[in-house]
């Protein structure tokens, strides 16, 4: 089970990393519902840009949570105090989930995004 805990930790680290980019973030909430079999992680940070990625031609949240090797912490010369760097973080939680839901808002663009993956990231919509 240590690997399962590490995957859960990656989701928390992703949510907490937002504070490094948005010092106004002052809430990180985790809900674990063992009876229903789900975990919810929420923060009140700036959010993820809800826009089409120029190179990949899909929405940025879909890229972040549903496509491997698309992390943004690769630059070893840049000083950062953040978690992961290879883009696996929450994607592993998605891969090992029967159902994985991403809901996020972009405060700057005033847009919302919601996507549901099912069957270990094999289908989405």
**Mean pLDDT, consecutive 10-residue segments, the chain of 125 residues?**
80 85 91 92 90 94 87 44 57 92 88 96 89
Beta bridge partners of 39: 32
What is residue 70's predicted lDDT score, i.e. its pLDDT? 64
Q: Is 7 helix (H, G, I), strand (E, B) or coil?
A: helix
- Nearest Cα to 17, choosing from 8, 28, 4, 2? 28
Looking at the structure, give the CATH architecture of the domain made up of residues 2-124: 2-Layer Sandwich (3.30)
What's this model's pTM, rounded to 2 decimal places? 0.79
How many of the other CB atoms lie within 10 Å of CB of 89? Answer: 24
What is residue 61's predicted lDDT score, i.e. its pLDDT? 93
């Amino acid at each position: 089970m240590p690997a399962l805990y590490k995957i859960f930790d990656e989701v928390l680290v992703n949510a907490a990393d937002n504070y490094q980019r948005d010092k106004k973030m002052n809430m990180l909430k985790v809900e674990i519902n063992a009876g229903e079999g789900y975990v919810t992680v929420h923060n009140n940070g700036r959010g993820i840009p809800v826009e089409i990625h120029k190179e990949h031609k899909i929405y940025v949240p879909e890229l972040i949570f549903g496509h491997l090797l698309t992390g943004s912490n690769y630059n070893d010369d840049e000083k950062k105090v953040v978690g992961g760097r290879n883009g696996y973080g929450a994607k592993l939680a998605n891969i090992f989930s029967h159902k994985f839901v991403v809901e996020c808002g972009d405060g700057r663009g005033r847009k919302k995004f919601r996507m549901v993956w099912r069957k270990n990231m094999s289908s989405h919509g």
